[in-house]
Structure 1
Amino acid sequence: MTEPRRHPDESAKAAAIRPELARWARYLRAHWLPIGFLLLAGIVSAVQEWGLGPGARAVLVDWSSTNLNNLRGRPIEALVASAFVFEPELWSRLAIAVLALLALVDRFGNLRAGLLVGAGHVLATGVSQAFLATRIAAGRAPHTLAAMADVGPSYLVYTALSAVVLYGPGRGPRALALLYLLVNAPDLVDGFTDEDVTAVGHLTALLVGALLGAYARPRPPAAQDRRPGVTNPVS
């Protein structure tokens, strides 16, 4: 039994589609970190927006917050969950986070970018909450702030934007990242002078992106001396 012959037009369409599918497959492999973040955070945001009532939404935010109470009892769960729970302005904050990760991955790669923003998220949370604990112990902040709502990937985003501005993949992403930071600079400065916990975390995240980014960025291979008559030493 012979197989039916394909129509020439069908064969041409299949041949045209294969390179496109291969291109998209390469793009997905090269950007699995921001794409995975988009999928997971997008699902959580959709559940928040359309699947939970106000009471359940408040419970989710309270459970996910990286406040002093949660960090003392279950730090791992709080640190992981808080990066995927957006409150308020879910979709705009999700878009900014994904764009920042895309630009960072283009320069650092998925693994280095993930380690960098993970370090920024953890260190900024630790420094800001330690700062708050010191203020509470000194009587300069109320004890109720130990249970404050503190969710969202803003520390991750500020780490990524700082690294993109300084070491980014091109002028376009660097200019956009710088513009975003400049637009938000007044709030950052005002919050820091008012000893706001989030502002302390954002400043820490910026420093992490700048300092650790210098070590995490891939180095170009050493240029070989191709002058006539010059050989490179064998290491």
Structure 2
Amino acid sequence: MNARTPRGLLTGALHAVRTYPRRSPLTFGYVVLLLLGHVWVESVLAADRADALRDHISTNLDNLHDHPVTALFGSALLFDGTLTEVLSTGFGSTLITLGLGVCCCLAWTERRHGSLRAAAVFLGGHIGATLLTAAVILLALRHGWYPQDVRQASDYGISYGAQTVLALATLAVPRWARLPWAAFVLAWPLAGGGGEWPGPLPEFTTVGHLLAAALGFALAAAVTLTASRRRRSGAPGSA
């Protein structure tokens, strides 16, 4: 059967879905955890308790000073978006971060580099971009570029980690599509919230997404350089 025919494409898609948990067990488990957490917070917890939980795990300056570990890891267990309001920008964000970023690009990273490295990339992007953004916020506050209430701003979710693996997945697309893909990775945060510029810098979450993308692109460049060196040296596994 030709894989390019509609029937072949459908068969391939069904096979990919059926084998997804086995081929990407870490990603599959993480997606299930995120979905369960979303349902719990949105549908089971009382509204005031849900708001208190989101406030507690937000990676703002006050929380990073008071309980950094809880904020950094807790914020990666919920996604800031919606699964039901399909016409909202929140649903578009969910499609990009949870759908494309985690379900697709994190799964590709896991299959390509292994579960431990995939987890390291995702958490490294999430934590690294968060801490770099905190440094930018401190600098902006010192110069009066951001309002003081940014210290308690709500900022939780998976999007920084997702942005990092989206950038790394530039290596997964054909060479002709890599520049458009990179442009998409950089453009969607600017389109979503980049219109708000309280000063010489965009809104701080936009800064965070751009920093997360930079981490992913840097890692992609490092992977490419390492592979090129192995090919030139004829190292085992370089093919």
Relative to the length of structure 1, the TM-score reads 0.71
1:32–1:75 distance in 2 versus 1, CA, 3 Å: same
Matches of 1:143 and 1:224, distance apart in 2 = 54
Letter in 2 for 1:207: A
Structure 1: gaps of 5 or more residues? 1-22, 226-235
State the partner residue of 2:168: 163
Does residue 149 in structure 1 map to residue 154 in structure 2? yes
**Which of 209, 215, 237 pairs up with 1:208?**
215
By how many angstroms is 1:60 displaced? Answer: 1.1
- Would you say 1:54 and 2:47 are equivalent positions? yes
| Range 125-134 or range 172-181, more displaced | 172-181
Change (3 A) 1:195 1:223: closer
How far apart, in 2, do the equivalents of 1:56 and 1:180 lie?
36
Find the aligned partners of 2:40 and 2:161 in 1 and give their Cα distance: 22
- Structure 2: 5+ residue runs without aligned partners? 1-16, 85-90, 235-239
Distance in 2 separating the partners of 1:32 and 1:189 = 35
Q: Which residue pairs with 1:79 in the alignment?
A: 72
Tell me if structure 2 keeps the 8 A contact 1:155–1:201: yes
Letter in 2 for 1:181: V
Contact 1:164 1:173 in 2 (8 A): no
Aligned length: 202
- Quick one: structure 1 residues 78 and 51, their matched pair in 2 at CA, closer, same or farther if it must change by over 3 Å? same
For residues 179-190 of structure 1, the aligned pairs below 5 Å read 180-181=184-185, 184=188, 185-187=190-192, 190=195
Contact 2:105 2:166 in 1 (8 A): yes
Once the 2 structures are TM-superposed, how far is the Cα of residue 53 of structure 1 from its aligned partner? 2.5
Name the larger-Rg structure.
1
Alignment of 1:218-229 (within 5 A): 219=227
- Aligned ranges 1:122-137 → 2 under 5 Å: 122-137=127-142
| Post-superposition offset of 1:137 | 2.7
What is the deviation of 1:178? 5.1
Question: What is the Cα-based RMSD across aligned positions, in Å?
Answer: 3.3
Q: Is the 8 A contact 1:191 1:199 kept in 2?
A: no
Alpha-carbon shift at residue 28 of structure 1 (Å): 3.2
In 1, are the aligned partners of 2:186 and 2:210 still within 8 Å (CA)? no
Preserved contact between residue 164 and residue 174 of structure 1 (Cα < 8 Å): no
Q: Structure 1 residues 55 and 102 mapped into 2: Cα distance closer, same or farther (>3 Å)?
A: same
Residue 195 of structure 1 and its aligned partner are, at CA, apart by 2.7
The percent identity for this pair of structures is: 27
Assess, with a 3 A threshold, how the Cα gap between structure 1 residues 110 and 24 changes in structure 2: closer, same or farther.
same
Paired position in structure 1 for 2:204: 197
**CA positional deviation for 1:90:** 5.0
Amino acid at match of 1:146: R
CA contact (8 A) 1:112 1:216 kept: no
Cα offset, 1:171, TM superposition: 7.4
Q: Secondary structure at the match of 2:128?
A: helix
Spell out the pairing of 1:90-101 with structure 2 (5 A cutoff).
92=91, 93=94, 94-96=98-100, 97-101=102-106
**Preserved contact between residue 61 and residue 149 of structure 1 (Cα < 8 Å):** yes
Which ranges of 4 or more aligned residues in structure 1 deviate by more than 6 Å?
A: 171-176
Q: TM-score, normalised by structure 2?
A: 0.70
